[in-house]
């Protein structure tokens, strides 16, 4: 792997504590990290999204939809491995593997994206953003804690999952999660369009190290393809990306998902973490500047759905706290940017969300706390 202009933590081993660099006190930062974890994973009913089940399982609740999603389960596993909570990680993984894993049918080898709280499936199809987070969280767990008996053979389970993501359908049954020709992740396996927020090239760089050997070139190419794709999917003036888009980056307006809305918020965070891990480049810095400038004169309680060219709709944002968090996390790509420090200050002054819609916002919030404090790390073997 070649380092880009600004060396990333993968090469240097050094993770920037951007909060500290911006003048926040290290003790206050550590307190914020721990408090945020406790608010999400503790017993505060106004903010919690994690719920233990029995002696050895637990789930992350999408409080807005009253279901359990692979998105949230994989996010929770990533949070747990980053902060060293093996018990919580294993509880989430046991629940996931017992209730969400599909062992038969065209989606065998994938995870059902939505389940009820009792574990019964609400859907029998997968969502690729969950699979990619599961895979990396499992690799990190393997590297940090070592493997155990199935299903705690974390590394083997990650490799099996990535094998399915690439090779599913070669026997005529089912579909892969990545297009085999352009190497771009799909929105769902049996469609031919994508979601910009699913593109996490810094994950694929690590998959190219730890996946089955025959697939490592694929993942290296997928990382390059996703970085190229994001350049055309993000608007060249506003920095906004659509929720769904075609492979050429143009918005896919199917059911109104060609606009900047909830899924899209993650793009800025993904670019920020990619820059932190593998280095920034000029486009990443410009992209961060554009999206932060777009929101600089807007207040979170007035965030809306937007066309990617910037025209607002009447519809308010469902997750304004999440958007504050992701825009702040984007500052990792350009800490000296005109609005970088102000974006982080807005985030620091914003509390975690309460109420029915808190799940998505608070997941993005904890990821931002981890990344901005230098605690969202690559766990190497």
- Same domain, residue pair 144 and 278: no
- Per DSSP, helices labelled H in 213-357 are 216-233, 266-278, 282-295, 320-329, 340-348
Specify whether 73 is located in the same domain as 31: no
Check residue 254 and give its pLDDT: 81
272 and 158, same domain (yes or no):
no
Q: Would you say 34 and 42 are in contact if contact means Cβ atoms under 8 Å apart?
A: no
DSSP code of residue 108: T
| Residues 163, 155 contacting (CB under 8 angstroms) | no
Q: Which of 62, 67, 71, 132 is catalytic?
A: 71
Residue 2 has pLDDT above 60, yes or no: no
pTM metric for this prediction: 0.97
The helix or strand, by DSSP H or E, that contains position 86, with its residue range, turns out to be helix 86-99
* pLDDT tens-digit series, residues 296-325: 999 999 999 999 999 999 999 999 999 999
> Above 70 in pLDDT, residue 155?
yes
Tell me 245's DSSP state: B
pLDDT at 107: 98
131 and 145 part of one domain:
yes
**Model pLDDT for residues 70-113, shown as the tens digit of each residue:** 999 999 999 999 999 999 999 999 999 999 999 999 999 999 99
Last residue of a domain, one of 171, 195, 219: 195
Residues 374 and 281 in one domain: yes
Which residue segment(s) compose the domain that 283 sits in? 16-48+234-380
165 and 268 part of one domain: no
Q: What is the pLDDT of residues 349-366, one digit of tens each?
A: 999 999 999 999 999 999
Contacts 24+ apart (CB under 8 A), 104-109: 105/174, 106/173, 106/174, 106/175, 107/174, 107/189, 108/164, 108/173, 108/174, 109/160, 109/161, 109/163, 109/164, 109/168, 109/174
How much of the chain, in percent, has pLDDT values that exceed 90? 97
pLDDT above 60 for 4 = no
- The total of structural domains in the chain comes to 2
92 domain-assigned: yes
- pLDDT band at residue 256, thresholds of 50, 70 and 90? confident
Is residue 275 within 8 Å of residue 18, measured between CB atoms?
no
Specify the CATH number for the domain of residue 316: 1.50.10.10
Residue 247 lies in a domain: yes
Q: For a pLDDT cut of 70, what percent of the chain falls above it?
A: 98
Residue 84 domain-assigned (yes or no): yes
Do 142 and 279 have their domain in common?
no
Residue 1 belongs to some domain of the structure: no
Among 173-187, 208-222, 250-264, 351-365, which is the least confidently predicted range? 250-264
Helix axes 70-83, 128-145, angle to 10 degrees: 20
106 assigned to active site: no
| Mean pLDDT computed over every residue of the chain | 97
Examine the domain organization and report whether 307 and 353 are in the same domain: yes
Task: Answer yes or no: is 354 within a domain.
Answer: yes
| Contact of 332 with 272, CB cutoff 8 Å | yes
- Residue 110 covered by a domain: yes
Residues contacting 232, CB < 8 A, separation 6+: 248, 249
Residue tagged active-site, from 90, 132, 263, 361 = 263
Indicate the pLDDT class of residue 6, thresholds 50, 70 and 90: low
Q: What is the DSSP string of 24-56?
A: --HHHHHHHHHHHHHHHHSS-TTT--EEEETTT
Asked if 84 and 155 sit in the same domain, the reply is yes
User: Does residue 58 share a domain with residue 88?
Assistant: yes
Domain membership flag for residue 227:
no
pLDDT higher than 90, residue 3: no
Query: Which pLDDT score, from 0 to 100, does residue 5 have?
Result: 47
Q: Are residues 186 and 280 in the same domain?
A: no
Q: Are residues 74 and 125 in the same domain?
A: yes
**Chosen domain end from 167, 195, 223:** 195
Which of residues 164, 195, 226 is at a domain's end? 195
Phi first, then psi: give them for residue 210, nearest 5 degrees.
Answer: -120, -10
Q: What is the pLDDT of residue 62?
A: 98
Please indicate whether residue 131 is annotated as part of the active site.
no
Mean pLDDT value across residues 332-353: 98
Any domain includes 219: no
Strand partners, 53: 57
């Amino acid at each position: 792997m070649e380092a880009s202009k600004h060396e990333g933590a993968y090469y240097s081993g050094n993770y920037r504590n951007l909060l500290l660099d911006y003048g926040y006190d290290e003790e206050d930062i550590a307190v914020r990290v721990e408090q945020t974890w406790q608010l999400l994973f503790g017993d505060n009913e106004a903010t919690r999204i994690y719920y233990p089940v029995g002696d050895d399982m637990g789930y992350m609740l999408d409080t807005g939809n009253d279901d359990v999603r692979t998105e949230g389960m994989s996010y929770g596993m990533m949070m747990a491995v980053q902060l060293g909570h093996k018990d919580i990680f294993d509880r989430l993984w046991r629940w996931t593997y017992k209730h969400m894993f599909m062992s038969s049918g065209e989606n065998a080898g994938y995870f059902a994206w939505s389940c009820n709280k009792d574990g019964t499936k609400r859907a029998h199809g997968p969502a690729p953003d969950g699979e990619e987070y599961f895979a990396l969280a499992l690799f990190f767990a393997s590297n940090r804690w070592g493997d155990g008996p199935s299903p705690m053979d974390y590394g083997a389970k990650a490799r099996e999952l990535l094998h399915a993501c690439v090779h599913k359908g070669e026997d005529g049954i089912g579909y892969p999660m990545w297009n085999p020709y352009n190497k771009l992740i799909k929105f769902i396996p049996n469609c031919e369009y994508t979601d910009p927020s699913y593109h996490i090239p810094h994950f694929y760089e690590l998959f190219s190290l730890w996946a089955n050997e025959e697939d490592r070139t694929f993942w290296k190419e997928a990382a390059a393809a996703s970085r190229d794709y994001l350049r055309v999917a993000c608007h060249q003036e506003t920095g906004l990306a659509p929720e769904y888009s075609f492979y050429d980056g143009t918005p896919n307006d199917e059911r109104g998902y060609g606009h900047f809305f909830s899924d899209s918020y993650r793009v800025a965070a993904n670019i920020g973490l990619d820059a932190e891990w593998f280095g920034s480049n000029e486009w990443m810095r410009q992209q961060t500047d554009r999206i932060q400038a777009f929101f600089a004169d807007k207040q979170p309680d007035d965030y809306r759905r937007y066309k990617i060219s910037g025209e607002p709709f009447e519809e308010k944002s469902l997750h304004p706290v999440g958007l504050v968090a992701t825009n702040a996390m984007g500052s990792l790509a350009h800490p000296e940017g005109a609005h970088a420090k102000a974006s982080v200050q807005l985030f620091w002054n914003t509390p975690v969300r309460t109420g029915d819609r808190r799940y998505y916002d608070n997941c993005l919030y904890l990821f931002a706390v981890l990344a901005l404090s230098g605690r969202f790390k690559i766990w190497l073997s």
